[in-house]
A and B are shown apart, each in its own frame.
Chain A
Amino acid sequence: MASPRGAIERTLAEIGHVLEQSLFAETLSRRAGLLQALDPRVKVVGLLSLLIAVSVSRNLWVIVGLYGVALGLAVVSRVPLSAFVRRVWFVLPFFTGLIALPALFMTPGPTLWSLPFGLVVTRTGLLTALFLLARVGTSVSLALLLIWTTPWNTLLKALSVLRVPDGFILILAMTYRYIALLLGIVDDMFLSRKSRVVGRLSTADERRLLAASAGALLGRSLQLSTEVYLAMQSRGYRGRPRTLDTFSLTTRDWAWAIGLVALAALAMWLGQLGG
């Protein structure tokens, strides 16, 4: 029996979702906000230090405090708060929440609450679940700040500050670009197929169709890679990437870089004090 929404429809919906997400990020990254105005290298270094501070903290309040910082940065960067909070806290309970739930009862420790059916919530269990949720939620929020306030091509160029080799950055950039193109191709493939089908495909047919689409897509990708190479060659590419590095740090950038890293260092120190 076919499902109410078949695999093809779900794949199409997912493709739409990915395109929508990158468009959303593109739009936000062009708004006039605080993070958008900063040099991308400052953002990469600053937000990654905060991410590391979240990762090493042994104190729950420090993590909560850093979430507050993330919220504050979102506000001054004109990131819509509802989307920022929803994206993290509406999704998280279904994934990390579900995985953390059994830990409430399964972690040995002093009893906090006794529930019916012999379920015992331990203090340790509650703490460990809160740690996991807070850490994941805050980390995702910080990552979103970076993604939503930086156009993808500048973000990639900024990676060079982390000593990522130029060749690797070029591959990442081209991959991102061609993901968009291939998504369009797959979207067309599935839509055109759907428009020629009356009724529902059986599960086995859907599977065959998906496999055939994947195979066909591979063929097109290979063909494209040859064409892209020829195009690059005709424009003077000789196996070595050259990038136009137009970044320059202003006093304001320096101030924020120092501020964010200092904040992260403070949080790391506070986080080691334990909770």
Chain B
Amino acid sequence: MSTWMVALRRGGWTRLGVVYGLIAAWLATTAMHIPDGYLSPITAVILYALVIPFWYRGLQALRKQVNARSVPMMALMASFSFIIMMFNVPLPGGTTGHAVGATLAAILLGPDIGGLAVSIALIIQALFFGDGGITAIGANCFNMGVVMPYVAWWVYQAVGGNTPLTASRRVAAAAVAGWVAMTAGALITAIEFGVQPMFFTAADGTPLYAPYPLDVAIPAMIFPHMLVASVIEGAVTALVIAYLQRSNQAALQLNGAAPTGAAATGGLSYRALWIGLAALIVAAPLGLLAPGTAWGEWGSDEFADLGLSYVPTGLAQLEGVWGAPMADYEIGFLGNASAGYVLSAVLGIAIVVGLVWLLTAVLARRQTTTP
């Protein structure tokens, strides 16, 4: 059986470009709403299991902050999130795009409550409007209602620091938070897509769900998002925060985090983010144990080609970073190619998290030394 690599080479790299452009164009124009049918039931169940503790946490936080008022408050904030997702944001060149609004929700309400508001908006979209799958509710809520708000909050706190609520630095922090959060959401979505053809294939190797492996799914998701959707998310968040600074400062204090208390709240959500990521990493290999899949059909040489040999030359160095150690795992001590492949995904997440952590640590230090 020929490999991806051979299949790609057969038609030359120009074809790859066309194909790539098609996926990229599609992915850039849609929000990250995953429909039913893209993810295997096992992946869907794992993501439901991952997201439910965060909903619980959100409800707890809500009860603590607003107590009996929590129900109408949540309903209105979720409605607000729903409507923000419908806003068409003009882009240069006459086209328009949508923001997810998860960053704005996280900054205004904190990641727990903000994430819950986004999740409820997503559930309503799936249940009443058929946008996004019903089996994929867990996945969509995890990507946009957990990953995005927590990453956003984390970046916003790190960049915004202890500056006053009206500081222009907070507008910049909102923009950066939106960009990073959307990109992180796209990365997680791409990983969810990318693991499908690894584990969930028919007996003859036909991918049964999303067909593209990690090395295609990740660049195809990440780069268009970095250029379009993440920019929209950042711009919308920054513009709304700037507006609220001018005309409704009370709204900026909803999350209960006064500028001085920001560090403490940031610490909490740090931990939540780590728990979420750890759970994701733990869950990734669970797919390996899934019964009935024919993942053993992949020869180790195929996996090598699938994961490693094809790394488009123009890709970011990150690809190389997580490709390289993988080669060692595979040939070296692990022996099992698929386990090595999962490890590479874990490693990839670790590297991205590490880079962001370093960046924010540096920024936070600079900010404490020069107040």
A residues lining the B interface (CB < 8 Å): 1-4, 6-8, 10-11, 14-15, 18, 21-22, 25, 48, 51-52, 54-56, 58, 87, 95-96, 98-103, 105-109, 117-120, 122, 124-125, 127-129, 131-132, 135-140, 143-144, 147, 152, 155, 167-168, 170-172, 174-179, 181-183, 186, 203, 206-208, 210-219, 221-222, 224-226, 228-229, 232-233, 237-239, 241, 272, 274-275
Does the CB pair B83–A7 fall under 8 Å? no
**Segment at the interface with A among B161-169, B199-207, B278-286:** B199-207
The 3 closest A-B pairs by CB, nearest first: A139-B36, A211-B239, A3-B94
Does the CB pair B135–A174 fall under 8 Å? no
Contact bitstring B19-39, A, C-beta under 8 A = 1, else 0: 110110111001000011110
Residue of A nearest to B95 (CB): A3
Does the CB pair B243–A119 fall under 8 Å? no
Q: How far apart sit A45 and B318, CA to CA, in the bound complex (Å)?
A: 45
| Contact partners of B120 in chain A: CB under 8 A | 171-172, 175
| Contact partners of A6 in chain B: CB under 8 A | 90
Residue of A nearest to B74 (CB): A171
| Contact partners of B12 in chain A: CB under 8 A | 118
Question: Which of B22, B77, B90 touches A221 (beta carbons < 8 Å)?
Answer: B77
Contact bitstring B276-316, A, C-beta under 8 A = 1, else 0: 00000000000000001000000000000000000000000
Does the CB pair A175–B75 fall under 8 Å? yes
Does the CB pair A95–B30 fall under 8 Å? yes
Does the CB pair A131–B239 fall under 8 Å? no
Does the CB pair B35–A140 fall under 8 Å? yes
Q: How far apart sit A15 and B77, CA to CA, in the bound complex (Å)?
A: 18
B86 interfacial by beta-carbon distance below 8 Å = yes
Query: When A102-B22, A128-B206 are in contact, do A218 and B248 touch as well, CB less than 8 Å?
Result: yes
Count residues of B near A (Cβ-Cβ below 8 Å): 91
| Contact partners of A211 in chain B: CB under 8 A | 236, 239-240, 242-243
Q: Chain A contact residues: over half helix, strand or loop, or mixed?
A: helix
Does the CB pair B15–A117 fall under 8 Å? yes
Does the CB pair B30–A128 fall under 8 Å? no
How far, in Å, is A122 (CB) from chain B's closest CB? Answer: 7
Question: Which of B4, B94, B243 touches A1 (beta carbons < 8 Å)?
Answer: B94
Question: Which of B104, B123, B205, B206 touches A131 (beta carbons < 8 Å)?
Answer: B206
Q: How far apart sit A71 and B26, CA to CA, in the bound complex (Å)?
A: 29
| Contact partners of A233 in chain B: CB under 8 A | 68
Residue of A nearest to B239 (CB): A211
How far, in Å, is A236 (CB) from chain B's closest CB? Answer: 12
Q: How far apart sit A248 and B22, CA to CA, in the bound complex (Å)?
A: 51
How far, in Å, is B91 (CB) from chain A's closest CB? Answer: 8
Question: Which of A2, A168, A182, A272 touches B94 (beta carbons < 8 Å)?
Answer: A2
Does the CB pair B69–A215 fall under 8 Å? no
B133 interfacial by beta-carbon distance below 8 Å = yes
| Contact partners of A138 in chain B: CB under 8 A | 37
Does the CB pair A48–B134 fall under 8 Å? yes
Does the CB pair A143–B90 fall under 8 Å? no
Does the CB pair A144–B77 fall under 8 Å? no
How far, in Å, is B232 (CB) from chain A's closest CB? Answer: 10
Q: How far apart sit A54 and B19, CA to CA, in the bound complex (Å)?
A: 28
Q: How far apart sit A127 and B96, CA to CA, in the bound complex (Å)?
A: 34
Does the CB pair A139–B209 fall under 8 Å? no
6 contacts between A and B (CB under 8 A): A95-B26, A106-B212, A147-B128, A179-B83, A216-B247, A229-B71
Q: How far apart sit A222 and B252, CA to CA, in the bound complex (Å)?
A: 12
Does the CB pair B90–A109 fall under 8 Å? no
| Contact partners of A51 in chain B: CB under 8 A | 36, 134-135
Q: How far apart sit A167 and B126, CA to CA, in the bound complex (Å)?
A: 19
Does the CB pair A108–B7 fall under 8 Å? yes
